[in-house]
Homo-oligomer: A and B are copies of this chain.
Amino acid sequence: MGVGDVSKRILLGRKLRSSQLGETLLPKRIALPVFASDALSSVAYAPDEIFIMLALAGASTYAWSWKIGIAVAVVMAAVVASYRQTVHAYPSGGGDYEVAKVNLGANAGMTVGAALLVDYVLTVAVSISSGAQYAAAAIPAVSGHEATFAILLVGVLTALNLRGVRESGTFFAIPTYGFIVGLGVMFGFGFFQWMTGGLGQVESAGLQIEPSPGYEQELTTIGLIFLLARAFSSGCAALTGVEAISNGVPAFRRPKSKNAATTLLLLGLIAITMMLSVITLARQMGLRYVDPHHLDRLRNADGSPVGDDFDQHTVIAQLAKAIFDGFPPGFYFVVICTGVVLVLAANTAFNGFPVLGSILAKDRYAPRALASRGDRLAYSNGIVFLAVMAVALIWVFDAQVTRLIQLYIVGVFISFTLSQLGMIRHWTRHLDTEKNPAARRHMQRSRVINTVGLAFTGTVLVVVLVTKFLAGAWITLLAMGIFFLIMRGIRKHYDRVADELSADDSDKVLPTRVHAIVLVSKLHKPTLRALAFAKATRPNVLEAIYVSADQREADQIVDEWDRRGLDVPLKVLYSPYRELVRPVVEYATEIRQANPRGVVAVYIPEYVVGHWWEQLLHNQTALRLKGRLLFTPGVMVTSVPYQLSSSKVALARAERGRRRVLAGDVRRGAPSVPDRRGYRQED
């Protein structure tokens, strides 16, 4: 087979591939659990946060809980409707970042990028901390050690993701549908009990809540409004993760946008139903719930403190315990499914983080190495970075969901708001050119939806900023600012380099002559191969160089050179202190100075070994020399490899590594195993 055939075959590969890609795409029934775990898992902690905030003023304010729930639901409906417009307009998976960048410019794009980076860290921290609370509800031994348990969980997730865990449909489908069905059955049974008058009370019913310091007196109207605003903005934690689908459109089956929009609608309905059900039932069943770190504000019915060994379980756990009273499997099923879905939500961040990194890298806001799927090192660094940041947050905030939530929501709503604003611009821009009346009507409708969305998310953002800035949102804003500056710095650097590198016409001058040097350390196969290869390039001058620290060794090699009758002259450079790099660099520099229009080609024989410990034993010098020669103008450095038999080990390892699934593959719409479905399909 000739070279022409090869390249044609490679060029032709494309058509086949695109059609086959479809097979790895997700049907709606699988896409829902893949993208929903993050959003749905919020139900596990958002209602709790509403009750915690209201409880600041004592249990009397619980009357407001369902109104706050409805307010959150309305915002969620508006946001879902808005994102349904986004998935139609931006089906490429760039999500909020792309919308902001295209419509609002680079700074808005970077702001959203920074917000998303922070959000991924917080998704891990919040979901895992909440998961630890559920674990404490099911496993008494975990109670009191939630932070340790949470850090261990992050460790396990990190290890799995570094190892390359396979995100598959079933992986997500079983626990997510388990969670939906489990909670659905619980709610259904609960409402049935309510209607039939058999609804019990939760374990915390009958407790009294002492108001927090500052709330002891009757609330003023302004005080009440501020309290409700705090509760509302905490409840908006329920919206986190709703945007995930807009990043995953490419992974859907065709028609991608339509399927994504439908899935998003379904997700919104389920999330709203769940949240309102939790709040309604909790209210009805007499729930009393305070910040787990202010349990001293809980009193028994007789006014005595509940004591140090009182264990406050999460709202869903309390509901499940009461509704499935006398049927422990129901309780355990709900609690375990909730915990697993929370872990899946955290895993979502591990999957989304590298995807975001590659998108930022393509726009040169992140190191270029992140752009390609293949750079395992960059990829692993990203995962480790995410894990370290999340562990730091969990550790600093002692796995307290309530405090982490203060940091979480602001980033989410910054990207929501910028994204809505971008969408309005998008439609306005398109309306300028669109003539078709039907399309115009459609666009105008979309613009109204996004405007409503903007009104809601913008309001929430203001509320969040006002109510949460001092409580932790400043940390998020600070982190976002740092990421923003780093991204801008990286971009500036790349731009400066591109500027320095941009070609002009002076760059076409051909070197007049090639002076080739073959480095000789011993007279073995690699050296002979390097000599042969160098000779094959027919340089103007070809010489072999031996750097000697010892006259006797030098004499030996010169003798052997003569004995073998090698027809390349061998030159000995004397290096008294066993330095190798410096004499070679100086010699190359001086050749080049003697002939500034020529080029010096340095040939380095290298033998290639397979095991990591072999690499420790070999080629350190060649590596250093190559590194150093690259700084020498007018020099090119050629490695002539000689493959030792052990090198096959490394080749096999590389092959195994390449076939490994990487986190994020499923939601990027990339096939899990490229060499089965992709590149070499046509062989």
Contact = CB atoms under 8 A, between A and B. Distances in A.
B2 A621 contact: no
Contact of A587 (B10, B377, B617, B678): B10
Nearest to A639: B637
B493 A514 contact: no
B498 A377 contact: no
A606 B630 contact: yes
A535 B601 CA distance: 13
A13 to B, nearest CB: 6
A594 B1 CA distance: 6
A641 B650 contact: no
A583 interface: yes
Contacts of A621: 368-369, 372, 375
Nearest to A524: B501
Given A10-B574, A620-B369, A643 B633 contact: yes
B503 A523 contact: yes
A525 B502 contact: yes
B536 A577 contact: no
Contact of A607 (B372, B497, B654): B497
Given A539-B537, A571-B7, A631-B643, A375 B624 contact: yes
Taken together, the copies of this chain in the complex come to 2
A527 B387 CA distance: 39
A599 B594 CA distance: 30
B527 A508 contact: no
B636 A637 contact: no
Contacts of A299: none
A515 B537 CA distance: 10
Nearest to A1: B594
Contacts of A537: 514, 537-539, 601
Interface in A583-598: 583, 586-587, 590-591, 593-595
Contacts of A509: 532
Given A17-B576, A374-B579, A533 B590 contact: no
A578 B641 contact: no
Interface string A600-631: 01010011110000101110110010101111
Contacts of A380: none
A378 interface: yes
Nearest to A670: B577
7 contacts: A11-B573, A374-B578, A503-B525, A507-B532, A579-B674, A582-B658, A636-B640
Given A3-B594, A10-B574, 7 more contacts: A367-B616, A372-B580, A501-B522, A501-B526, A503-B524, A631-B651, A637-B638
